[in-house]
A and B are shown apart, each in its own frame.
Chain A
Amino acid sequence: MRVSIGGAERLDLVLNPVAALGRAVLSACRTVGALALFALEGLSHLVRPPFYWRLFLRQLVEIAYFSLPVVSLTAIFTGMVLALQSYTGFARFNAEGAVANVVVLSITRELGPVIASLMVAGRIGASFAAEIGTMRVTDQIDALTTLSTNPMKYLVTPRLLAGVLAMPFLVLVADILGVMGGWLIGTTKLGFNSAGYLKATMDFLQVMDVVSGLVKAAVFGFVITLMGCWCGYNSRGGAQGVGAATTTAVVASSILILAFDYILTEMFFAR
């Protein structure tokens, strides 16, 4: 049996995908706008007293100190693998001597900030989203308002500042340990002289390499804490909503870290 389609229905079939696309674009614009306003309000409380120093210090310790083991281990292994891989590649055209240079450049400019931030996104982004999301669905955020406390000032602002300050510290540690991981493999397995490896590292390293990595770290720290707070603050619907907020916080901050990495690298090093 053939079913004939009228002119109006045919027009609907064409326009429905266009309408869906329009709705998706509008929804994306609304989300970006709301996120920007959320970030601005969070930052505005930095200059509007009171500031919750006790909460800030607690978050600083949570991010900077308790993330040290995971960031350190990741950085050491990344440096070790990088030394091994670059040695294997460079040996093909007799350039093994460049291993130390490649390791220090890759670690300080790219791998230190990115790997450390992705680790912290998994740890802190998820933790913030889950904690604030649980507070949302159990009325604790409403309770803050009834107790004469601005929830943004109390929950978001100290976390944003702690993220921005803690990440450069973690990346500095990751830089040092990553380079040491390369040195360890270089001297114990690849036959490099210890002093020679370290001299090659220091000679090749420029201040800008480290500074660019630390600036990236601060931006990534802001992105991680912002997404964790935003997803938690806007979670709905009980345990399932909190779980979804946690997943979204980690996925979104990981993607944003890689996107901002490209933008910042372009800003720092594009010729």
Chain B
Amino acid sequence: MSGDTPKIRLRGLSKAFGEKRVLDGVDLDIRAGHGMVILGGSGSGKSVTIKCILGLITPDAGTIEIDGQDILAMSRRDREALNDRIGMLFQNGALFDSLPVWENVCFKLLAQKRITRAKARDKAAEVLAQVGLAASVGDLAPSELSGGMQKRVGLARAIAAQPDIIFFDEPTTGLDPIMGAVIDGLIVDVVKRLGATAVSITHDMASARRIGDDAAMLHRGKIVWTGSAAVLGDTGNAMVDQFARGEREGPIQMELRR
């Protein structure tokens, strides 16, 4: 792999559900060791894009390369091996209700027999500490946690196996602004510590500026802008600036059903 090869490269990615075309030729490069934030309105295809990269949805056309390898052409075994290097924080945490927190955190390590059950509790306590939670939280059930704590446990689960690519699906949605900033701070810290590549999708502009180095705007299934996350709101692209400032008037017309 050359130094210029992006960590993740999408080319012509397309996906339709019935008559509805959700992705319509998405081209995107994500740099290794950087944070990419994908912006876009509801239904613009952000979640479908990362689900395609994660192998949860098979695209109709296009290529997805990770470290220069076309993952859609990989064997099932190679694909599973690739998943070992990937972490994911779901929007609602997606913690397993039937398992205590410590088992949620160490789920991947236990599934791959990289750790014994006896040692998993200590490992979970160590990872929970990295996201600012006490070891005693490990014995609780996910249903006993607040929204912010569930996000932190989800983050702990995503980083426990030390992945080199981490996906964040709306990491601050449903949280108050202070807790949102706390979660963003934790994301920046753990991504930096792991030296990982982070891909986030969000509507939250403050969050996008905090966790992103680069940003891309997805609109009607196409990437319409890419650039630095620092200039969001002042990009010179009318569509991105309208979205970033949350303005009603502009090139993006929301479809309202009356």
Find B108's partner among A131, A139, A140, A148 (CB 8 Å cutoff). A148
User: B83-126 toward A: CB 8 Å interface, digit per residue (1/0)?
Assistant: 11011101110111110000000011001100000000000000
Q: Is the CB of A146 within 8 A of B96?
A: no
B192 at the interface (CB under 8 A from A): no
Q: How many A-B residue pairs have CB under 8 A?
A: 46
Count, chain B residues at interface, CB 8 A: 23
Which chain B residues numbered 27 to 68 have a C-beta less than 8 Å away from chain A? 51, 54-56
Question: Which residue of the partner chain, among B86, B91, B95, B98, contacts A146 with CB atoms under 8 Å?
Answer: B86
- CB of A139 within 8 A of CB of B83, answer no
Chain A residues 136 to 170 lying within 8 A of chain B, measured CB to CB, are 138-140, 142-143, 145-149
Asked if A148 and B91 make an inter-chain contact with CB atoms under 8 angstroms apart, the answer reads no
Binding site for A on B (CB under 8 A): 51, 54-56, 80, 83-84, 86-88, 90-92, 94-98, 107-108, 111-112, 157
The answer to whether B111 touches A147, judged by C-beta atoms less than 8 angstroms apart, is yes
Known: A138-B92, A142-B90, A143-B88. A148 touches B55 (CB 8 A): no
Report the count of interface residues on A (CB-CB < 8 A): 13
* Closest Cβ neighbor of A134 among chain B residues: B97
A residues with a Cβ closer than 8 A to B are 131, 134-135, 138-140, 142-143, 145-149
A147 to chain B: which residues have CB within 8 Å? 107-108, 111, 157
**Using Cβ atoms and an 8 Å threshold, which residues of chain A touch B92?**
138-139
Q: Top 8 nearest A-B pairs by Cβ distance? A: A139-B94, A143-B94, A146-B88, A147-B108, A139-B90, A149-B111, A148-B83, A140-B94
A105 CB → nearest B CB, Å: 42
Of the listed residues A131, A134, A138, A146, the one surrounded by the most CB atoms of chain B closer than 10 A to its CB is: A146
**A residues less than 8 Å from B107 (CB atoms):** 147, 149
Shortest distance from the beta carbon of B101 to any chain A beta carbon, whole Å: 14
**Chain B residues within an 8 Å CB radius of A139:** 90-92, 94
Contacts of A148 in B (CB 8 A): 80, 83-84, 108, 111-112
Residues from chain B with Cβ under 8 Å of A140 in the complex: 94-97
A148–B90 Cα gap in the complex (Å)? 15
Residues on B with C-beta less than 8 A from A145 are 54-56, 83
* Among B84, B92, B94, B96: residue with most chain A CB under 10 A: B94
Once A148-B80, A148-B83 are accepted as A-B contacts, the answer to whether A142 and B51 lie under 8 Å apart by CB is yes
Known: A134-B97, A135-B97; 5 extra A-B contacts, CB below 8 A, are A139-B91, A139-B94, A143-B88, A145-B56, A149-B111
